[in-house]
Amino acid sequence: MNEPREHDGLMGENCAGGMTLPYYTADLPGVGGELKQAPQDFEVEEIPAYEPRGSGEHLFLWIEKIDLSAEQLTEHVARALDISATEIGVAGLKDRRAVTRQFVSVPANREDRIDRIESDQVRVLRADRHTNKLRTGHLRGNRFVVRLRGVDPDAAAKAEQVAERLLASGFPNYFGEQRFGRDAGNVRLGFELLRGEKKPSRIPYTRRRFLLRLSLSSVQSALFNDALATRVNEHSVQTVQRGDVMQVVASGGLFVAEDTAAEQRRLDAGETTITGPLFGPKMKSPEYDVGAREEEILSRWGLAEADFERFANLTTGSRRPYLARIDSLQVVPEGAGTLRFEFTLPPGVYATVLLREFQKRN
């Protein structure tokens, strides 16, 4: 029944299940270089949606971690405070090989144990109480300072061209390779679960909740990357098609495009954006040819819409903008062979995806 499976191949930084992710600035030269030669080359600071109020049953910890994954941080905090990992709240998952600063919420009744969190890789920079637990998405964005080392001698001039293009139009909002796990392990597990080839009970109980959510979302991410790559290849990622699901930038509201000329004007004015699929029972579906093409994507990957109902609470479905906008991008030469990038991105947008447009590696 869910055949054929064209996209069971490996995932990599430039791939989406056997499909190369095209560059948006393919006509411009890249600068080369290497990312994350040291954790200090990749700094991320969360922009909170709100500050803690100073009272409440939860404690917000402003934490700096170095070269530690999101799961490792949660496990470390849980052990230090002697609580369950489910009692810990975070707004978003941060890169492992990096220096990151973010809020983590824990029960306030563990305040006397906070000093136990300190380690060579984790520091609590401040702590304050708040009325609610921190939830996924409770952030306005992330600030980045990233160093790209070993770039070409004329990298600054090349980077300026790419930056000018991306500041004007945005860049493809692909999910980064880290979404799919080492050797694509997360996405493989997700496909097995959705196809009914593996039962959740076969996942170790201590990691079941985390791996279920991560692996299933990675499948949604791979399918989105496929849909977006098609639009980029066709040079239609900024062209409204009848049936596209559009999003109002100011409100986040979704609607299906009917009058393409009118909607193109709104898109060009920055009022709306074209969205792609994060498949699930509650996803707003496109219509006409756009809808048919999204159904073809599922078929190519050996899935059907009904498969997402197996885990309806974890794969509810939504839409994601095809293009991401950059705020205050600066590219500064920093010594021989190094460029420093400073920029701010919305929640859920990958800095590595932005930087690959500058590097141009295949």
Amino acid at 77: V
Cα-flanking dihedrals φ and ψ of residue 179, to 5°?
-65, -30
| DSSP string over 31-88 | -EEES-SSGGGEEEEEEESS---S-SSEEEEEEEEES--HHHHHHHHHHHHT--GGG-
Amino acid at 330: Q
E strands of the chain, at which residues?
32-34, 42-48, 58-66, 89-90, 99-107, 122-130, 139-151, 171-172, 245-248, 254-256, 272-278, 318-321, 323-324, 327-333, 338-345
Residue 68 Ramachandran class (φ > 0 left, ψ -120 to 50 alpha, else beta): beta
Amino acid at 232: V
Measured between alpha carbons, how far is 106 from 271 in angstroms, rounded to an integer?
38
Do the Cβ atoms of 320 and 278 come closer than 8 Å? yes
Question: CB under 8 Å to 46, separation ≥6 — which residues?
Answer: 91, 92, 94, 100, 101, 102, 103, 139, 142
Do the Cβ atoms of 326 and 146 come closer than 8 Å? no
Neighbour tally for 81: CB within 10 Å: 22
Catalytic residue among 41, 95, 244, 307: 95
Question: CB under 8 Å to 168, separation ≥6 — which residues?
Answer: none
Amino acid at 349: V
289 noted as active-site residue: no
144 pairs with which residues across the strands? 44, 343
Instruction: Record the tokens describing residue 310, joined without a space.
Output: 């197996």
Catalytic residue positions? 95
